[in-house]
């Protein structure tokens, strides 16, 4: 496999307006790690997702959707100890969306290192983890820690997306868990306000945090800045790129799309600028489309951003 990832993928309900007014809900699936997996699969990479779902119809929807998108789910598991989690998206103001999770006691929160052992033993060039999975409880936290250690020992490149969720854990809790992982991380991805959760507490500025992470052994520190673009820092210097300018329809999932683009270009051997260029491109596809992953591009569609606005492909 090119990439192995794991985490909680939930059934996703998307409202067309305020929930209190009622109306229809569109059913799909969503989860940070599976969003990345789908993005990479559409770009032509071999990706495996090794999460845990409930023994219910929502769980079958998750595995069916990922399989249909070309993601390997041969190491995914099911359990009747908890249901598949649920996430509800409620549009409120233009591109502002309210997200509500129903994941307490879910199947995904029961994942353990033992569940991941077969997928890790099979190997992958990159193992991608996020702070979201570590925030789901003690067992998932230990699973992430074990997976990062095992991947580093096996020679896989380890990518950590901080992906802080304030409703799951505090910044202090996140820092205590994520900072010890850094010694085994090769690529660290964080938004500019998340960088402090992985860097030493003593580092008081962004530059100091980046320098400390590089000194700790991280090869690439990737800082997402939303509409302002992104930067990648390495021991050889830094590279910056602005974001692509597109009509904003839905920002949910944009960070995952960015990661998928970055890892895709990394797998292709692109230099830092090429990695950022593909990352901001896939991120733009995400924000210009509705849904977490539905609008992510296939490789042959990447040049579509160069088309004239309002044009039709005939």
Could you tell me the residue ranges of all domains in the chain?
3-296
pLDDT tens-digit readout, 10-41: 999 999 889 999 888 999 999 999 999 999 99
Token output for 231: 């930067």
Question: Do strands 187-191 and 10-15 pair parallel, antiparallel, or not at all (unpaired)?
Answer: unpaired
pLDDT number for residue 75:
96
Rounded Cα–Cα distance for residues 256 and 261 (Å): 9
Which of 2, 72, 250, 256 is labelled catalytic? 256
| CB-based contact 177:134 (threshold 8 Å) | yes
- Say how many Å lie between the first and final Cα of the chain, rounded: 36
Question: Do the Cβ atoms of 169 and 101 come closer than 8 Å?
Answer: no
27 touches 12 (CB < 8 A)? yes
Q: Mark whether 26 is an active-site residue.
A: no
Q: How far apart are CA 149 and CA 232, in angstroms?
A: 24
Residue with tokens 């250690």: 149
The verdict on domain 3-296 having CATH code 3.40.1190.20 is yes
pLDDT mean over 175-186: 97
The whole-angstrom separation of Cα 36 and Cα 39 is: 5
What six digits make up the tokens of 61?
């929807």
pTM of this structure:
0.95
Structural tokens at position 94 = 């233009």
Q: Are strands 86-93 and 96-102 parallel, antiparallel or unpaired?
A: antiparallel
Encoding tokens for residue 287? 């924000």
Helix (H) or strand (E) segment spanning residue 72: none
pLDDT band, residue 94 (cuts 50/70/90)? low
Residue pLDDT, tens place only, 8-17? 999 999 998 8
Q: What is the mean pLDDT of residues 243-268?
A: 92
167, two tokens: 């409703």
d(CA 97, CA 19): 12
């Amino acid at each position: 496999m090119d990439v192995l990832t794991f985490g909680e993928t939930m059934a996703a309900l998307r409202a067309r307006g305020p929930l209190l007014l009622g109306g229809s809900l569109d059913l799909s699936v969503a989860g940070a790690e599976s969003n990345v997996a789908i993005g990479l699969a559409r770009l032509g990479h071999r990706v495996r997702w090794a999460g845990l779902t409930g023994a219910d119809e929502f769980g079958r929807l998750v595995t069916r959707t990922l399989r249909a998108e070309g993601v390997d789910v041969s190491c995914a598991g099911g359990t009747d100890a908890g249901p598949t989690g649920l996430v509800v998206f409620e549009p409120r103001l233009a591109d502002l969306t309210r997200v509500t999770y129903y994941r307490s006691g879910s199947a995904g929160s029961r994942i353990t290192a033992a569940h991941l052992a077969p997928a890790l033993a099979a190997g992958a060039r990159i193992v991608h983890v996020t702070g979201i999975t570590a925030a789901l409880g003690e067992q998932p936290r230990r699973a992430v820690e074990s997976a990062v250690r095992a991947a580093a020992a096996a020679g896989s490149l380890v990518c950590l997306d901080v992906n802080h969720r304030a409703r799951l854990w505090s910044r202090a809790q996140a820092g205590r868990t994520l900072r010890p992982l850094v010694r085994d991380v090769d690529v660290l991805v964080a938004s500019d306000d998340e960088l402090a959760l992985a860097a030493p507490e003593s580092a008081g500025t962004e530059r100091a945090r980046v320098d400390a992470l590089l000194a700790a052994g991280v090869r690439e520190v990737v800082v997402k800045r939303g509409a302002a673009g992104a930067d990648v820092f390495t021991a050889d210097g830094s590279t910056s790129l602005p974001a692509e300018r597109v009509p904003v329809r839905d920002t949910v999932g944009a960070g995952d799309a960015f990661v998928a683009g970055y890892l895709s270009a990394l797998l292709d051997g692109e230099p830092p600028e090429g990695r950022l260029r593909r990352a901001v491109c896939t991120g733009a596809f995400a924000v210009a489309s509705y849904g977490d992953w539905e609008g992510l591009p296939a490789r042959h569609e990447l040049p579509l951003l160069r088309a004239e606005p309002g044009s039709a492909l005939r």
